[in-house]
Amino acid sequence: MKLFGWGSDTTQLPPDRLRVSQLACGVGCLQAASGIPLASDCCAYEPTQRLLAVSTTDGRVKIFGREGVERTLRCGSGAPHPAARQLLFLVNRGAVLRVDEAGRLQLWAIEPDAVGAGDAAAAGAAAGAGAPLQQLELGGGDAVTFAAAMQREPFLLLGCRSGAVRVAQMVNASGSGVTAARQVRGLKLTSYS
């Protein structure tokens, strides 16, 4: 039946112009994923902005906002990353913190454009989109096992494998203590006093 052109062989699809060589650039130029990752190991919720963060066993953190809004953060390139022990939003500070099984901390800015041109050197923006602002290790054979943010104070309490409690100060791009919301660009271990 040729009514309305159905079954007609006169129209053909144009030939494909996309070639395999265009996709084989080596940097993952055509990668896409949506939804909650299969290998999830930790999650955190930020009630002020209504964000959900989900960490995976391969070192990624996916942040979900309203419908259709999500962002993937990566621990960096290179060796495999340990699974997450804890995931923590720094509420009203625009950052998310991940504690991994090896006792390291990774800190990311939630918003991709939160790192301005003046902050690029201090925040490590040259490392690429989704890269952590800072990775912190205690050293001396000690490792972080838990982190807790102090409400309305620019400090984090870090529980250590040795049983000690360390204090880290949230700092801005210039290295001074954070006084307002959405300024966290790093962490600085404070001395005991």
Name the residue type at position 78: G
User: pLDDT tens, 145-166?
Assistant: 999 999 888 899 999 999 999 9
pLDDT above 80 for 51 = yes
78 in any annotated domain: yes
pLDDT at 122: 36
Distance (Å, rounded) from C-alpha 42 to C-alpha 94? Answer: 19
SS3 call for 49: coil
Distance (Å, rounded) from C-alpha 132 to C-alpha 2? Answer: 60
20 in any annotated domain: no
Higher pLDDT, 25 or 73: 73
128 in any annotated domain: yes
13 in any annotated domain: no
15 in any annotated domain: no
Total domains in the fold of the chain: 1
pTM as predicted? 0.71
Q: Which domain holds residue 135?
A: 36-189
113 in any annotated domain: yes
10 in any annotated domain: no
pLDDT at 76: 74
Q: Would you list the DSSP string of 68-97?
A: T-EEEEE--SSS--PPEEEEEEETTTTEEE
Tokens of residue 41, six digits:
């190991």
Distance (Å, rounded) from C-alpha 151 to C-alpha 141? Answer: 29
For residue 96, give the CATH number of its domain: 2.130.10.10
User: pLDDT tens, 63-122?
Assistant: 998 887 888 888 876 667 888 899 999 988 889 999 999 999 999 988 765 444 344 333
5 in any annotated domain: no
Higher pLDDT, 182 or 87: 87
Q: What angle do CA 186, 47, 52 make, to 5 degrees?
A: 75
pLDDT above 60 for 131 = yes
- φ and ψ at residue 61, rounded to 5 degrees: -130, 125
